[in-house]
């Protein structure tokens, strides 16, 4: 998979899935956007790479678990806020599994 796949998948998730198919509210889109800003920032620091150099394979279950722990421990987010971020991640990975079945595993 090329490094552009992550950006293509994120763009498709926001434009096609959230806005066109689901008609998500501006508040939902903003919340999901913030979740991915935090995730990409965390990934950039942790993996020492620019967000544009990240691929889907960088986001394994252990890495995402570390991200959720980071939200609670380092950013002092409540469980409710962390779970909101988790909902955004779950929605994105469901979209990825439908769009790119090879990445579903």
Domains of the chain with bracketed CATH: 4-103 (1.10.150)
Please determine, for residue 103, whether its predicted confidence score (pLDDT) is greater than 80: no
Please determine, for residue 28, whether its predicted confidence score (pLDDT) is greater than 50: yes
| Secondary structure in 3-state letters for the chain | CCCHHHHHHHHHHHHHHHHHHCCCCHHHHHHHHHHHHHHHHHHHHHHCCCHHHCCHHHCCHHHHHHHHHHHHHCCCCCHHHHHHHHHHHHHHHHHHHHHCHHHCC
Q: Give percent above pLDDT 70 in the chain.
A: 94
Report the pLDDT value the prediction gives residue 44, as an integer from 0 to 100.
93
pTM: predicted TM-score of the whole model, two decimal places: 0.86
Report the pLDDT value the prediction gives residue 88, as an integer from 0 to 100.
95
């Amino acid at each position: 998979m090329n490094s552009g796949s992550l950006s293509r998948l994120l763009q498709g998730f926001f434009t096609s899935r959230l806005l066109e198919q689901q008609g998500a509210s501006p508040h939902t889109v903003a919340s999901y956007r913030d979740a991915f800003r935090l995730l990409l920032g965390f990934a950039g620091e942790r993996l020492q790479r620019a967000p544009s150099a990240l691929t889907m394979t960088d986001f394994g279950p252990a890495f995402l678990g570390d991200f959720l722990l980071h939200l609670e421990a380092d950013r002092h987010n409540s469980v409710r806020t962390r779970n909101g971020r988790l909902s955004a991640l779950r929605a994105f990975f469901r979209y990825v599994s439908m769009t790119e079945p090879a990445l579903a595993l």
